[in-house]
Structure 1
Amino acid sequence: MLSFYHEHTAVVIGGGFYGAAIAVYLAKQRGLKRVLLVEREPALLMRASYNNQARVHNGYHYPRSFTTAYRSRVNLPKFVRDWPNAVKQDFTKLYAIARRNSKVTAKQFERFCRDIGSTIEPASPALRALFEPRLIEDVFLVEEYAFDTTKLAHWAEHELKESGVQILYETRAVEIFRSSDSSLQVVIETKHGLQELIACRYLFNCTYSGLNHFKGDFPGVQIGLKQEITEMPLMHMPPSLGGLGITVMDGPFFSMMPFPARGLHTLSHVRYTPHLHWDDQQGVNPYEKLDAYDQTSRVDRMIRDVGRYIPAVLNATHVDSLFEVKTVLTKSESDDGRPILFEKHVTLPGCYSVLGGKIDNIYDVLEKLDTEVFSEIKPAF
């Protein structure tokens, strides 16, 4: 049985980085007084915000999507400015171009980096010596960073408290309705199965892989989504690789990046990181599919392939693996771009769905929100 109404000006569903940042923005920058954040986990930033490669992009990763690359280059200094304590800069970042099967050549990559304004220079002979020269065309020293999700979570907890945002943990939104007076109503459910009805003027769906999985009047997003179950191995690297981040590109290749939250490195491989994929559809809950999946690691296959290019990685030790659902826009599959999804639902005025492909995309979302008009007027009941 549903309990009585709780009235809020805005409800944000999803306590990842995007949901937390949007809730803080609404309260601090836009002055909304009654903001509620609903998070299904017992703490903030526990799912996709944590279970990823923790990379603050500077554009290098996207030579086939100029817009994504350029926006990353523009947003990186903003991110470093706004979250300096969470950004790890004290490592050397290398990008290497494979001789075979790469979708860009070394010269094309250099030109692309200069076009977007990202720093690039030849790597030293000592760093080049880490790579198998028969498989690698060239190696470049670049500027790219990593972030510590645990420190971002501490920031979010502090800012939400200071902003007066109410947080409901271990609670999920299950239904979204439009009431007769055009306000929005959300049915939330605790882990014990207790349900309550929330009324609000504005609703922000920041559930990442769960964007389409609500009952009621919620229409779903108009653009196609692809879901992937991914594995991100956490590795203890040998001394020769400990202070490095390395990406070999562009195509079916790999990356290793510092993972500050655990003091380890992630290892990702385009061929082996995705374990399973499907087109998002109603009735197929991504999180239930993840829970039911046999999470057998593919790290041995990753290491064998990476070791052909960087022999020292054969001495790395697998510590753990992070399994998660990754969500991308179907239209981005061709160029590997990572634009944001920002959709206003016409049939549910005041309801927004937001999906970001990278953490620095948050500025693209906030720029969109700057153009929206919000008021503190309470819904009429």
Structure 2
Amino acid sequence: MTSPHQIFDATVIGGGFYGAAIAIYLAGQRGLRRVLLLEREPSLLARASYHNQARVHNGYHYPRSFTTAFRSRVNLPQFVRDWPQAITQDFTKLYAIARRNSKVTARQFERFCRDIGATIQRADATLQKLFEPRLIEEVFLVQEYAFNARMLAEQAARELRDTGVEVWFETCAKALHAAADGRIRVSVQRADGTLQAVESTYVFNCTYSGINQLEGDFPGVKTGLKQEITEMALVRMPPPLAELGITVMDGPFFSMMPFPARGLHTLSHVRYTPHAYWMDARGVNPYTRLSAYPQETRFDRMLRDVARYIPSARDMEYVESLFEVKTVLQKNEGDDGRPILWEKHEELPGCYSILGGKIDNIYDVLQKLDTENLPIKQPYNV
């Protein structure tokens, strides 16, 4: 049964961090009076925003993509100011440069960090001794943070309430159609199977891996996307490593980052974290593929390699793995850049598709929105 539709100024599809932050921005800073946020899960930030390294980047991760690195440096201070309760700083962050197969040398990495204005210094002897010197050229002490995804979701929920955004959980957007008066009709399915339609002057498609899965008049994104099924292992670190975050780069690339939402660490590895991949296409639902994939951990292989570089890592305890679909722009596979995807669909005026590779890229999105003139074409019906 289809119920009568409601009219909103804007509908944001996807209640991950990007969708929530954009809804807050539209209602709180752009003055849109009726904003609707649709989320297929029962809570905010339940998928890719949670199933990741929980790293707030400061540029170090991207020595082969200056633009991505520099934007991280610019965005980090504002992210820390805006989301302070979710930020974890009480750990020591190290970046180690491998002697073999690394795409950057220690000297190049140090120069790169200084070029983007990122704090860096050589780690002291106690920290250096954690690493196998035959495999590690240099170890640097840097400034990088982690975020607590649960606390981030709690703050986002408060701000959505405070700005008057209406949130519909367990609601899946199915299709977009051009409607009367220049609005867009969004067909949705509620948790009980009820079909409903809402209309909006603007629609923001922030569904991450599902960005191409809307039907109807939605044209799909023009940018080529790659989908990956990834594994993030959750581990309990041994005492020598418990207060550290460590990244070894840039080739034999792995990271052990604090995961504040669980009081654990994530372990990811460039070779073993990606399990499967395919080029994104409409009608190929990434989440269906994920649910059908045999989610068997590769932790043992990750650990075997990590322990070569950091012997004390052998004593880490495996807890479980988070499997998720990661979406990247095909054009950035070679340089590891993580720019935002921003497409304004001229075929469906008022519709935008937005995808970001890093949580702190949200400010690049908001800056882009600042350049858009978002008048309300037709007053909504009360």
Q: Which residue of 2 aligns with 1:364?
A: 364
Identity of aligned residues (%): 68
The more displaced of 48-57 and 178-187 is: 178-187
Q: CA deviation at 1:5?
A: 1.5
Counterpart amino acid of 2:320?
A: D
- Structure 1's unaligned 5+ residue stretches are none
Counterpart amino acid of 1:54?
A: A
Aligned ranges for residues 52-201 of structure 1 at < 5 Å? 52-201=52-201
Q: Distance in 1 between matches of 2:8 and 2:46?
A: 25
Instruction: Check the 8 A contact 2:87/2:148 in 1, yes or no.
Output: yes
| RMSD value, Cα | 1.1
Q: Partner of 1:374: helix, strand, or coil?
A: coil
Q: CA deviation at 1:180?
A: 4.8
1:10 aligns with 2:10: yes
Q: CA deviation at 1:190?
A: 1.2
The more displaced of 107-116 and 368-377 is: 368-377
Aligned ranges for residues 1-381 of structure 1 at < 5 Å? 1-378=1-378
Q: CA deviation at 1:377?
A: 4.0
Structure 1, residues 234-269: CA drift from partner, whole Å, max 9, x if none? Answer: 000000000000000002320000000000000000
Instruction: Check the 8 A contact 1:119/1:143 in 2, yes or no.
Output: yes
Instruction: Check the 8 A contact 1:183/1:379 in 2, yes or no.
Output: no
Q: Partner of 2:234: helix, strand, or coil?
A: strand
TM-score, normalised to structure 2, is: 0.98
Q: Partner of 1:361: helix, strand, or coil?
A: helix
Counterpart amino acid of 1:322?
A: L
Q: CA deviation at 1:376?
A: 3.4
Q: Distance in 2 between matches of 1:263 and 1:230?
A: 21
Q: Distance in 2 between matches of 1:6 and 1:85?
A: 35
Instruction: Check the 8 A contact 1:27/1:163 in 2, yes or no.
Output: yes
Counterpart amino acid of 1:271?
A: R
Instruction: Check the 8 A contact 1:201/1:379 in 2, yes or no.
Output: no
Q: Partner of 1:4: helix, strand, or coil?
A: strand
Counterpart amino acid of 1:236?
A: R
Which portions of structure 1, spanning 4 or more consecutive aligned residues, are displaced by more than 6 angstroms?
Answer: none
Q: Distance in 1 between matches of 2:7 and 2:245?
A: 48
- Structure 2's unaligned 5+ residue stretches are none
TM-score, normalised to structure 1, is: 0.98
Q: Distance in 2 between matches of 1:307 and 1:137?
A: 16
Counterpart amino acid of 2:131?
A: F
Counterpart amino acid of 2:190?
A: T
Q: CA deviation at 1:57?
A: 0.4
Counterpart amino acid of 1:201?
A: T
Counterpart amino acid of 2:208?
A: Y
**Paired residues, number:** 381
The more displaced of 138-147 and 245-254 is: 245-254
Q: Partner of 1:138: helix, strand, or coil?
A: strand
